[in-house]
Amino acid sequence: MKNWTRRHTLIAGMALIMLTNAVALLGVYRNRSGEPESMLKLTQRELQQPQAWEINRENSGVTLRINWRVPSAEKSWNYSYSGGSPAWLDQAKMASLGFDVGPPASMLDNQGRSVRQLGKEVLLVLELDGPAYRQALQRAQQNATEQVAKLAALPDDKAMKDNAKRAQDDARREEQDNSRLFAVDAGLNLAGLRARYPDRGRYAIVRALVRPQVIAGKSKLAGYIDRIGIDEIHVPREYHATFEGGPRRTHGAPAKQSFEASVAFGQRLEPWLLGISASKN
């Protein structure tokens, strides 16, 4: 009886694994069937690449992570990566996403603490190299100009020198290195969002988790984008050579290999790699 139990337990376990794999493969097939919902040309700025020294021909599990950004709620030149509270995700937008915004008093308990609401899945619009990125670049350049002007008034001030150099470095990174992929809108209806953002080569629509938060001191609800549904893309072994022999670590900082990748987002709004090639700096 004991041997019978072990044997059947093993069979059941194998069957479960096969069923899980079959479901996963069916999901992949459904996602990649027909024309992609959108397709973006991303570079090393938008995709977190593996380090060249970590790639070997035996490794079949290399992935690229999608680097997306949100503007801060304040009018700042600084922007956060892979999550945050954009200015457009305000109380009105949260209401349109189905969150209970209620009167201000209903958002707080008897001790004045915010009432917790669970996050929910919504559709998030990611914009590539569009107005949101140009605004980020303009703000970084403006900040650099202002800091240099302040230094000109006090050329011997060490703090001013440090601020000016930091601002100039920030502006350079914004122009040359930082991701140009920004979260710019959200909704619940795919057709409605696509009608608003028809360019499928600039705007990808993905699933994302949004959770509410109460703005401190204002008793007003705002939203926080916690994460997107799938933010990693598998790199088939045939494309590993793109990262091999690339620039190496210098002075303790990882160097990036320049590349361009065609990333499709399918019927289930999940990304996959269509192709990738190294590009010249």
Ordered by start, the domain boundaries in the chain are 1-33, 35-68+232-281, 78-125+181-230, 131-179
pLDDT, average across residues 83-102: 90
- The pLDDT of residue 122: 97
Q: How far is CA 149 from CA 21, 115, 157, 164, 173, in A?
A: 61, 46, 13, 9, 20
pLDDT, average across residues 208-231: 84
* 60 band by pLDDT with thresholds 50, 70 and 90: low
Nearest 5°: phi and psi at 151? -65, -35
The residue type of 227 is R
* 215 band by pLDDT with thresholds 50, 70 and 90: confident
- The residue that leads in pLDDT, 109 or 132, is 132
Give the gyration radius of the chain's Cα atoms.
23
pTM score of the predicted model: 0.81
Cα 218-219-224 angle, rounded to 5 deg: 95
pLDDT, average across residues 204-232: 86
pLDDT at residue 198 greater than cutoff 50: yes
pLDDT, average across residues 188-195: 97
- The pLDDT of residue 269: 94
pLDDT at residue 103 greater than cutoff 60: yes
pLDDT, average across residues 36-46: 95
Average pLDDT of the residues of the chain = 81
- The pLDDT of residue 74: 58
pLDDT at residue 117 greater than cutoff 60: yes
